[in-house]
Amino acid sequence: MMTSTKVKPLLVNYKTLEEFKRFKEYGNQELAMLEDLESNIVENDSESPFFGVYYGSALVARMSLYRVRAKYDKYFVPPQDYLELWKLEVLPDYRDMGFGKDLVEFAKSFELPIKTNPRINSHGFWEKMGFQKANYDVERDLGENPLIWMPTGVEERNANA
């Protein structure tokens, strides 16, 4: 099995933020990072929740990861810290090269449960990565279609109980 050494934490700087513009899911998060950098609220090269894969010198895949604290956990038993994963995206010319898998394997390597809200039509990928549909609960999930992955010993919480 390949190791995930290709996956790098991404630092907040103008070069990275420029590269982010090539990704479809460019939104409030990236705009806020840019504003914070421009107004010196964050330092250049400060930590970001993003991890990426470079191909040569180009950022070709990325994801965001955030550790949600146990007291906010509504998904797992026992309640515990888990990772929210979002904006997993591989640029069109670099698909089917395993970069999406590398990123998800990297996320799993923390051995915490993971929750994501996938885009429509990506369920095949997530199923291959061992993710399963969480039981839908309108109050918790609203417009989300949450998928979860659990390391050994963790169970899904019964949201409706």
Residues in touch with a copy of itself (CB under 8 A): 24-25, 27-29, 31-32, 49, 64, 66, 84, 86-87, 117, 120, 133-136, 138-139, 141-146
- Quote the least distance from Cβ 113 to a copy of itself, whole Å: 15
Show the tokens assigned to 40.
């010196």
Q: Are strands 132-133 and 82-90 parallel, antiparallel or unpaired?
A: unpaired
Q: Please give the angle made by the CA atoms of 154, 99 and 23, to the nearest 5 degrees.
A: 105
> Which lies closer to a copy of itself via its Cβ, residue 25 or residue 156?
25
Q: How far is the CB of 93 from a copy of itself (least distance, A)?
A: 20
What is d(CA 2, CA 104) in angstroms, rounded to the nearest whole number?
A: 13
Q: Which helix (H) or strand (E) holds 51?
A: strand 46-55
Of 3 and 38, CB closest to a copy of itself:
38
Q: Is the Cβ of residue 5 or residue 40 nearer to a copy of itself in the bound state? A: 40
Q: Which sign does the torsion angle of CA 60, 61, 64, 67 carry?
A: negative
**What minimum distance in Å lies between the beta carbon of 58 and a copy of itself?**
22
Q: Shortest distance, CB of residue 51 to a copy of itself, whole angstroms?
A: 14
